[in-house]
Amino acid sequence: MDKNLVNDLIEFGFSDYEARVFLVLSTKGPLTASDISKNTEIPYSKVYEILNKLESKSILEISLNGKYKKYKVLDASHIVKKIIKKKKENVNTLEKKAGEVLKKIKKRTTKQQPLGSIWICQGKKNFLEKVSIMLKNARNYAYGMTKEFSRIPDLDQQIINTAKRGIDVRLLSITNGLKKLNSARAEWYSSHNVKIKMMPLKIQPRICLVDDKEICLRVDNEHDSEFIWSNNPALINLVKSYYEFLWKRAEPFRK
């Protein structure tokens, strides 16, 4: 039994046992329940339960010829395509509901973020997602400090949107020379009206500062990353002054 293939099938919504039965029937079927048990290492007492579940999903065909029932998969390609279609329909339904649900949540939201708040979170991706949200709220400027010019789809979209809105977006690169991938990423940012400057620094946090209203600072450690978000005016002013000090002394990015 190919465990990697079983795990791949689980991603399509099958349980572990369902994936095993689907796989063995797709490759060796038709088989009796006893044969399925031997090939999948599923207890015989559980096989019929799994077969009934797959049958209820219109995945199996059953032969009544002979002493024992035999089972086979209708058509693996057809089944997988049908599952994908169903998942797309579910996603479309959720997307339609999302706007309505978010409106209801916003309507019921009464608490505002207290001024001076400091929140801590973990993870590089979470940091980039938080930066994306901050860019969405930007009205005047957004300043960033980076090393890799990291990109994720949400961040890309917000960079494009801020360019359309005429927001002053700046990125200060703290690396000493860009690798090929990072250089390509930098060029992408530059092509979307992001002002980029270079100033090699040994150890610096990643920074996002928006509109004198909120700031995000990420510090990497050996195993992961931690970052803080704050709307504390004193912290914002301190970081903004430091950022502008570095920006004046940094060199323009050249493609």
The DSSP bridge partners found for residue 214 are 210
What is the per-residue pLDDT for 163?
84
What is the per-residue pLDDT for 132?
94
Dihedral sign (CA 76, 82, 88, 91)? negative
Domains by residue range for the chain, with CATH? 3-78 (1.10.10.10), 118-252 (3.30.870.10)
Burial of 185 (0-12, 13-18, 19+ CB in 10 A): middle
CA dist list (Å): 179 to 74, 188, 254: 51, 14, 14
The DSSP bridge partners found for residue 251 are 198
What is the per-residue pLDDT for 15?
92
Written as six digits, the tokens of 148 are: 């890799």
Distance CA 41, CA 48 (A): 14
What one-character DSSP code corresponds to residue 255?
Answer: -
Distance CA 128, CA 51 (A): 44
Our CA angle for 192, 195, 201, nearest 5°, is: 130
- Give the closest residue to 128 by CA, choosing from 152, 105, 95: 152
With a CB cutoff of 8 Å and minimum separation 6, the contacts of 152 are: 125, 128, 129, 132
pLDDT in tens, the chain (255 residues): 788 889 988 988 889 999 999 999 988 888 999 999 999 999 999 999 999 999 888 888 888 777 888 998 888 888 888 889 988 998 889 988 988 888 888 887 776 767 778 899 999 999 999 999 999 999 999 999 998 898 899 999 999 999 889 999 999 998 876 676 678 888 999 999 999 999 988 878 899 999 999 999 998 877 788 999 999 999 999 999 999 999 999 999 887
What one-character DSSP code corresponds to residue 249?
Answer: H
Given a contact cutoff of 8 angstroms between Cβ atoms, the answer to whether 171 and 194 are in contact is: yes
Given a contact cutoff of 8 angstroms between Cβ atoms, the answer to whether 185 and 150 are in contact is: yes
- Give the closest residue to 29 by CA, choosing from 64, 99, 76: 76
Distance CA 122, CA 33 (A): 48
Written as six digits, the tokens of 244 are: 């502008």
Written as six digits, the tokens of 92 are: 């479309």
The DSSP bridge partners found for residue 65 are none
> Structure pTM?
0.62
What is the per-residue pLDDT for 38?
92
Written as six digits, the tokens of 159 are: 């960079």
The CA R_g of the chain, rounded to the nearest whole Å, is 27
